Amino acid sequence: MSRVRFEGVAKEYGPVVALQPLDLDIREGEFLTLLGPSGCGKTTTLRLIAGLITPTRGRLYLGDDEVSLLPPEKRNVGMVFQDYALFPHMTIRDNIAFGLVERGGLDKAAIGRRVSELLELVSLPGVEARYPSQLSGGQQQRIAVARAVAFAPKVLLLDEPLGALDLKLRESMQVELRRIQQELSITTVAVTHDQTEAMNMSDRIAIMNHGVLEQIGTADEIYDRPKTRYVADFVGQISFLPARVSARDGEWTVVESMGRTRRGRGDATATLGRDVALALRPERLRVVADGTVPAGNDSLSGTVTGVRFIGSRHIVTVDAGDGVLVVAEMSRNEPPCDPGTRATVCWNPADAIVLAQ
Ligand code: ATP
C-alpha cells in the first residue's frame, strides 16, 4: 500500500479541461471515493493514477516515487471495472492467476496456494474450477477484486465496481468490499456517482464538479458541513432559503431571510450584504400544524403541498412563498399534516447552514 499524491495535476484534451490543477493527498491504507455527476472528472482522476492517461501538467506520486509518465504496467496498481472484465474462456483459477503468471517468479504450487488464499479472502472458497458464467454477478465481481489484488498492488482502483449489480446486492457488496480493503489495508480509490455507496465504503469522499475538487472530507463532514451549495445539494436532500448576511456574532452568521432575522453556522468568509443561502436538512426540521414553535427555534410558515410516505417516515413539502419549497422529514409518531393546510416548519439555528451562492 502507498500514499497517492497529486501536485497540481491537470488533464486537458485539446480545449476540453477534464481536470483542473488538482492537489490531493490520499493516505496510506485509506479508502477514498471520488463522487460527482457524469463528466465531472472522476474517471480522469482514476485513469491518471492507473497510468492509462498522462497529465498535461503537474506531478503524480505513488509512495515516494514520481509516476507521472510511467506506463501502467510499471505502476503496480490493481484495477476493477464495472463490467468485471473476467476472461470467459478461463477458469476462475486461471483468471485470478493471470497477473501472477505474467509477472513470473512463482511456481505452480505457490500460485495454487495464492489463488486459494485469495478465494478465502473474497469468501468464495472452492470455486477454482468453475468458469465466470457459472457465477452470479456479485460473485464475479469478487473474483475481479481477487484478481486485482493478487499481486499485492500498491493501490487498488475501483471504477464503478458495483454499477452493474442490483440494489440489494450492491449494498451487501459495499460491506464486502470495505471488509476486504480493511483486511488488506490497501490504499483504495473508487469512482461512483452513488452517494450512499460512497458514504458506506469510504474513509473520505472527494466531491468533484466540472474538473474541480469542491470538497474532501468524511461522510459526516460532507453532509453536516458542506462548504458549497453544490456539495450540499449533491449529497442528500436539502432546502435553500434566500438570505443576505447582515451581521457576525461569534461563530454565527446573522442573515435577513424571508422577512426575518435568522442565524446559521458556516461560511465565515461571506461579507456583510452578500447574498447567501440558508440551507436546511430535512431530518433537522420539525413541522407543526398548530404554529407552536419550540423556544429558541427559527421557523417559517407555509402551505403543505405534498406528503409522501417512504416506509419509515413521511416526507412533507411546504410552500413558503416566493418560490421557496422546504422539504422536511416527519417520524410516523408525529401528528400527520394534510396537503392544503397551513403548517410551520421549525429548526434549531445551529442546524442551519449558511452557504455562499
Ligand atoms: P462519468 O461518470 O460519465 O464516467 P466522469 O466524471 O468520470 O464521468 P470523465 O470521464 O473524467 O468524467 O470526463 C471529464 C471530462 O473530460 C468530460 O467533459 C469528458 O467529456 C472529457 N473527456 C474525457 N475523456 C476524453 C477524451 N479522451 N477526449 C476528449 N474529452 C474527454
- CATH architecture observed for domain 238-356: Beta Barrel (2.40)
| Biggest CA pair distance of the chain | 77
- CATH 3.40.50.300 domain residues, the chain: 4-230
At residue 83, does pLDDT exceed 80?
Answer: no
pLDDT band with cut points at 50, 70 and 90 for residue 357? low
Whether 276 and 254 have beta carbons less than 8 Å apart is answered as no
Q: Is domain 4-230 classified as CATH 3.40.50.300?
A: yes
CA separation for the pair 339, 50 (Å, rounded): 53
Q: Is the CB of 14 under 6 A from ligand 1?
A: no
Average pLDDT over residues 111-132: 91
Q: Is the CB of 193 under 6 A from ligand 1?
A: yes
CA separation for the pair 70, 72 (Å, rounded): 7
Phi and psi torsions of 146, nearest 5°: -60, -40
* pLDDT score, position 292: 87
| Complete DSSP assignment for 231-249 | HHHHSS--EEEEEEEEEEE
* Pocket mutation for ligand 1, best pick of 9, 11, 13, 197 (most atoms within 8 Å of C-beta): 13
CA separation for the pair 215, 355 (Å, rounded): 13
Amino acid of residue 265: R
* pLDDT score, position 271: 84
* pLDDT score, position 326: 95
Distances (CA, A) of 237 to 127, 206, 276, 353: 43, 18, 18, 13
Average pLDDT over residues 11-20: 96
At 276-335, the pLDDT tens digits run 999 999 999 999 887 789 999 999 999 999 999 888 888 999 999 989 999 999 888 877
User: What grid cell was written down for 111?
Assistant: 500460485
Q: Is the CB of 39 under 6 A from ligand 1?
A: yes
At 50-64, the pLDDT tens digits run 999 999 999 999 999
The rounded Å distance from CA 154 to ligand 1 centre is 25
CA separation for the pair 56, 19 (Å, rounded): 9
Nearest CA to ligand 1 atom 20: 39
pLDDT band with cut points at 50, 70 and 90 for residue 135? very high
Nearest CA to ligand 1 atom 3: 38
Identify the H or E element spanning 197: helix 195-201
Q: Is the CB of 13 under 6 A from ligand 1?
A: yes
At residue 267, does pLDDT exceed 80?
Answer: no
Average pLDDT over residues 322-350: 90
The rounded Å distance from CA 43 to ligand 1 centre is 7
Phi and psi torsions of 313, nearest 5°: -140, 165
pTM: 0.90
The rounded Å distance from CA 84 to ligand 1 centre is 21
* pLDDT score, position 1: 63
CA separation for the pair 74, 14 (Å, rounded): 27
CA separation for the pair 5, 23 (Å, rounded): 7
The rounded Å distance from CA 230 to ligand 1 centre is 19
Q: What is the DSSP letter of 340?
A: T
Nearest CA to ligand 1 atom 7: 43
At residue 90, does pLDDT exceed 80?
Answer: yes
Closest ligand 1 atom to the C-alpha of 45?
11
- Indicate the average pLDDT of the chain: 91
Phi and psi torsions of 281, nearest 5°: -80, 140
Q: Is the CB of 2 under 6 A from ligand 1?
A: no
Nearest CA to ligand 1 atom 15: 18
- CATH 2.40.50.140 domain residues, the chain: 238-356
Lateral strand order in the sheet of 77-81 = 77-81, 155-159, 187-192, 31-35, 204-209, 212-217
The rounded Å distance from CA 240 to ligand 1 centre is 30
* pLDDT score, position 155: 96
E strands in the chain: 4-13, 16-26, 31-35, 57-62, 65-66, 77-81, 155-159, 187-192, 204-209, 212-217, 239-249, 252-257, 260-265, 275-280, 286-288, 298-309, 313-319, 325-331, 342-347, 353-356
Do β-strands 31-35 and 187-192 pair in parallel, antiparallel, or remain unpaired?
A: parallel
Nearest CA to ligand 1 atom 23: 18
With a pLDDT cut of 90, the percent of the chain lying above it is: 73
Phi and psi torsions of 256, nearest 5°: -100, 125
CA separation for the pair 261, 254 (Å, rounded): 7
Nearest CA to ligand 1 atom 28: 13
At 155-208, the pLDDT tens digits run 999 998 888 778 888 888 899 899 999 999 999 999 998 999 999 999 999 999
Nearest CA to ligand 1 atom 12: 39
At 241-265, the pLDDT tens digits run 999 999 988 889 999 999 999 999 9
Do β-strands 57-62 and 4-13 pair in parallel, antiparallel, or remain unpaired?
A: antiparallel
* pLDDT score, position 233: 92
